[in-house]
Amino acid sequence: MIKRFVMMSAVAACSVAFASATHTFEVSMERDAFLLDGKPFQIRCGELHFARVPRAYWRHRIQMCKAMGLNTVCAYMFWNYHEMERGKYDFSGEKDIAEFCRIAQEEGMWVLLRPGPYTCAEWEFGGLPWWLIDKGSENVRLRTRDPRYLEPAKAYLRRVAAELKDLQITHGGPILMAQDENEYGFVGDDREYIRALYDTMREAGFDVPIFTCNPVYHLTKGVIPETLKVANFPANPENAFSVLREVQPRGPLMCGEYYSAWYDAWGQRHHTKPVENMLKDLDYMLSVGGSFSIYMAHGGTSFGWWAGCNSPFVPQTSSYDYEAPISEQGRAIPKFYAIRDLMKKYMTEEELAALPEPPPPVPLQAFKSDVRGELVTPSFKMLDGNMKQPLPIEMLNVGYGTVLYTALGDTIGGGVLKARNIRDQAAVFLDKRLLGFLDRRFPERGVNVPAGAGKLQILLTHMSRYNFGAVINNSEKGLLPPVTLNGKELLGWAASQVVPPLEGKEESHIADHPLNFKRFNVNFTSTADTFLLVRGWKKGHVWVNGHPLGRFWGIGPTQTMYVPGCWLREGVNEFLVFDFGGNVPMDGLEFVDSPILDEMHPEIDIISAPKRDSAPFTPPENPTLKGEFPDAVASQEVMLDAPVKARQFAFVIDSDWPGKGVAAVAEFELLDVKGESLPHGSWKFISLSSEETVREDGAAENAIDGQISNFWHSRWSKDQAKPPHYFVIDAGSEVEVSGFRYTPRQDGRSGRVRGWRLFLGDSLTK
* Strand, helix or coil for residue 666: coil
Residue 429, CB-side half-sphere exposure with 13 Å CA sphere: 18
Give the residues across from 175 on adjacent strands: 111, 168
Euclidean distance between the first and final Cα of the chain, in Å?
Answer: 57
Amino acid at 336: F
- How far, in Å, CA of 656 to CA of 751, rounded? 6
**Antiparallel, parallel or unpaired: β 636-653 and 755-761:** antiparallel
Q: How many residues does the chain have?
A: 766
Element (H, E) at 473: none
Strand extents, DSSP E, 558-681: 560-563, 571-579, 589-592, 625-628, 636-653, 656-657, 664-665, 667-671
In 3D, which of 229, 213, 234 has the Cα closest to residue 118?
213
- How far, in Å, CA of 676 to CA of 58, rounded? 42
- How far, in Å, CA of 147 to CA of 469, rounded? 20
DSSP string for 709-757: SS-EE---SSS---SPEEEEEEEEEEEEEEEEEEE--SS-STTEE-EEE
Of 47, 226, 257, 476, which is the active-site residue? 257
Phi and psi angles of residue 232, each rounded to the nearest 5 degrees, phi first: -105, 135
Element (H, E) at 27: strand 22-28
- Indicate if 257 belongs to the active site: yes
In 3D, which of 267, 358, 276, 294 has the Cα closest to residue 74?
294
- How far, in Å, CA of 25 to CA of 624, rounded? 55
Contact between residue 221 and residue 183 where contact means Cβ atoms under 8 Å apart:
no
Neighbours of 658 (CB within 10 A): 11
Q: What DSSP state is assigned to residue 110?
A: E
- Indicate if 85 belongs to the active site: no
Residue 277, CB-side half-sphere exposure with 13 Å CA sphere: 13
Contact between residue 269 and residue 557 where contact means Cβ atoms under 8 Å apart:
yes
Of 26, 83, 107, 183, which is the active-site residue? 183
Element (H, E) at 149: helix 147-164
**Longest C-alpha distance within the chain, in Å?**
82
Residue 452, CB-side half-sphere exposure with 13 Å CA sphere: 5
- How far, in Å, CA of 463 to CA of 481, rounded? 18
Element (H, E) at 196: helix 191-204
- How far, in Å, CA of 146 to CA of 236, rounded? 37
Angle ∠(313,650,693) on CA atoms, nearest 5: 45
Element (H, E) at 282: helix 275-287
Amino acid at 754: R
Distances, alpha carbon 566 to alpha carbons 20, 75, 182, in Å: 34, 22, 32
Radius of gyration, CA atoms only, the chain: 26
Q: What DSSP state is assigned to residue 328?
A: T
Angle ∠(41,30,74) on CA atoms, nearest 5: 40
- How far, in Å, CA of 551 to CA of 590, rounded? 17
Angle ∠(597,331,15) on CA atoms, nearest 5: 140
* Strand, helix or coil for residue 122: coil
Amino acid at 78: F
**Antiparallel, parallel or unpaired: β 560-563 and 44-48:** unpaired
Query: Which residues are designated catalytic?
Result: 183, 257
